[in-house]
């Protein structure tokens, strides 16, 4: 009997963590490209990408910043490239969607609702920062609403409609699943939906196993056979939630955007290290890792030759 194939997504750098938190966080274009290719070689079928200012590590959502590393990754790997439209919470939706709109990736992330997005508890762990923006980034999240209104979501969908990009729908709470169902009912999104349920961000649903079960039951009821389920556990919740979801039939996302750790008190040396760790879990459960070609088939993607980079 053929083993079930699981899609591993690796989120390479993100906008949550800052350079002072880990020396292994990719910042420059070369570091991001090397990290993405390394993750793909370790077994990630999809790499989810943000860009950063190489001088201070601040998130950079200009298409030019992405163009510095996307052709390199495409040349060196056949992995599926997934660009953020989340950017950073303080950016406008017009700023956040520009890379996906101009570069037409196979996949782009799309947050499915507004939420409080609390990063300030990290200040208990990290006290020294190299750049002034890092502390402000965490402190200001006490009063931060990550805005993703229905109008914002419609704007992203309309802006990317003509380029064949499909979406990783990021759902941080149960209401976000209902928001996605609303867009499905209106015919603005098409199956198979790639639903990424996110656990452990302060302001979203928690990381308890019952929370994972609740999100899965709700998605099953709303979408039936019309979706592919994946999970993202933040911080120390990364691997336990991946293991639970994989055993329940889901796909998994890891990477330094979501967690800097590779075990208690042990910083992950690379994105590839986290991919190898989750791959061990999957194979220990008798599951197989999907190749990029298999992920493209499972998610009905347009192919790596149809992008604009």
Under the banding of pLDDT at 50, 70 and 90, the label for residue 278 is: very high
* Residue 1, pLDDT above cutoff 80: no
Are the C-beta atoms of residues 261 and 17 closer than 8 Å to each other? no
Q: What is the pLDDT of residues 201-232, one digit of tens each?
A: 999 999 999 999 999 999 999 999 999 999 99
pLDDT attached to residue 304: 97
d(Cα 13, Cα 5) in Å, to the nearest integer?
Answer: 25
Token pair belonging to 122:
């990290």
**Residues 6, 14: contact at Cβ < 8 Å?**
no
pLDDT at 287 over 80: yes
- Rounded to the nearest angstrom, the gap between the alpha carbon of residue 303 and the centroid of all alpha carbons in its chain is 19
Give the residue-averaged pLDDT of 69-81.
98
> Over the stretch 238-262, which tens digit does the pLDDT of each residue have?
999 999 999 999 999 999 999 999 9
Look over the chain and give the mean of its residue pLDDT values, rounded to a whole number.
Answer: 97
Mean pLDDT of 109-128: 96
pLDDT at 308: 97
> What pLDDT is attached to residue 11?
98
Q: How confident is the model over 190-207, as a mean pLDDT?
A: 98
Task: Note the CATH architecture for domain 5-306.
Answer: Alpha-Beta Barrel (3.20)
| Every domain of the chain and the residues it spans | 5-306
Q: What is the mean pLDDT of residues 41-58?
A: 98
**The pLDDT of residue 230:** 98
Under DSSP, is residue 91 helix (H, G, I), strand (E, B) or coil? coil
- Which helix (H) or strand (E) element contains residue 112? none
pLDDT score recorded for residue 2: 85
Give the Cβ contact number of residue 77 at 10 Å. 20
pLDDT tens digits, one per residue of 14-42? 999 999 999 999 999 999 999 999 999 99
Residue count of the chain, please give it.
Answer: 309
DSSP code string of 256-309: TTT--BSSTT-B-S-HHHHHHHHHHHHHHTT-EEPPHHHHHHHHT---GGGS--
Interatomic CA distance for residues 28 and 32, integer angstroms: 6
Please provide the distance, in angstroms rounded to a whole number, between the alpha carbons at the two ends of the chain.
39
């Amino acid at each position: 009997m053929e083993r079930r194939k699981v899609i591993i997504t690796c989120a390479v750098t993100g906008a949550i963590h800052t350079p002072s938190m880990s020396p292994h966080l990719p910042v420059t274009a070369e570091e991001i490209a090397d990290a993405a290719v390394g993750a793909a070689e370790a077994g990630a079928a999809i790499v989810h990408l943000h860009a950063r200012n190489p001088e201070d590590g601040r998130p950079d959502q200009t298409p030019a910043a992405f163009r510095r590393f996307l052709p390199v990754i495409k040349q060196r790997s056949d992995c599926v490239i997934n660009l953020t439209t989340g950017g950073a919470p303080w950016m406008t939706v017009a700023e956040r969607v520009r890379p996906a709109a101009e570069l037409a990736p196979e996949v782009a992330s799309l947050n499915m609702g507004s939420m409080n997005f609390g990063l300030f508890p990290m200040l208990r762990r990290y006290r020294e920062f190299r750049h002034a923006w890092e502390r402000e980034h965490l402190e200001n999240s006490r009063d931060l609403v990550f805005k993703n209104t229905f109008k914002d979501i419609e704007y992203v969908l309309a802006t990317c409609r003509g380029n064949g990009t499909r979406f990783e729908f990021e759902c941080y709470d149960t209401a976000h699943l209902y928001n996605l169902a609303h867009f499905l009912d209106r015919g603005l999104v098409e199956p198979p939906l790639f639903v990424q349920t996110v656990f452990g961000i302060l302001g979203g649903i928690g990381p308890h196993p019952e929370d994972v079960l609740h999100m899965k039951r709700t998605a099953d009821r709303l979408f039936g056979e019309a979706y592919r389920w994946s999970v993202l556990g933040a911080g120390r919740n990364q691997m336990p939630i991946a293991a639970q979801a994989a055993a329940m039939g889901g796909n998994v996302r890891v990477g330094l955007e979501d967690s800097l750790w590779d075990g208690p008190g042990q910083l992950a040396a690379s994105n590839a290290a986290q991919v190898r760790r989750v791959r061990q879990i999957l194979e220990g459960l008798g599951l197989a890792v999907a190749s990029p070609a298999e992920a493209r088939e499972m998610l009905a993607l347009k192919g790596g030759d149809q992008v604009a980079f």
